[in-house]
Amino acid sequence: MSDDGDESEGDSDDPTLTHTADGDAQMVDVTAKPDSDRRATARGEIRLRESTVAAVRADEVGKGDVLTTARIAAIRAVKHTWETIPMCHQIPIGDVETDFEVHDDRIVLAVTVATTGQTGCEMEAVQGVTTGLATVLDMVKSAEKGVDGGYDTEIGGVEIVEKVKQY
């Protein structure tokens, strides 16, 4: 996914760059890289019953305000990405934007992260989306549970939709 020499294994200008090899693990050394302004946006969705979405819209979910809780969870996840993804650098988070689109049968979440530093913030954006959507599920799961005790709810379509780097 990297087009700017960030810490991905597949960079064409350094095919040996890797996090793990021969049983060893290491973070990619970014200390020689100059700081730059970086921004990344990720998006995903959770498919829900129309009645569940209506309850979210009306703020009638028993656990509380679903979107506010999911927004807080997404921001917190962005700030703690380095703790959950191995070899991910801890970066200064300058800004986190969360944008929900509520449709009749799904909720779409986009998370945009901004930082100034030596490495990108796309993993932080992805972590924000996945945690935000998982929080939506946690808040509405009683409404989504079927008569058999299972769920038809689906979280998917998670993708990085923008990555920008400026010196």
Which pTM value belongs to this model? Answer: 0.87
Q: What is the pLDDT along the chain (167 residues), one digit of tens a residue?
A: 344 445 443 344 555 656 777 777 888 889 889 999 999 999 999 999 999 999 999 999 999 999 999 999 999 999 999 999 998 999 999 999 999 999 999 999 999 999 999 999 999 999 999 999 999 999 999 999 999 999 999 999 999 999 999 97
Catalytic residue among 11, 22, 35, 138: 138
- Looking at the DSSP assignment, which residues form a beta bridge with residue 43? 110, 159
| Residue 10, pLDDT score | 37
pLDDT at position 18 is: 63
Give CA–CA dist 109/32, Å, rounded: 35
Instruction: Output the pLDDT for position 29.
Output: 86
Q: CA angle, corner 158, sides to 153 and 25, nearest 5?
A: 115
With CA atoms as reference, report the closest residue to 92 among 122, 118, 128, 70: 118
Beta-carbon contacts of residue 27 (< 8 Å; ≥ 6 apart)? 7, 19, 87, 89
d(CA 46, CA 147): 20
**Length of the chain in residues, anyone?**
167
d(C-alpha 117, C-alpha 30), whole Å:
10
- Quick check: is 138 catalytic? yes
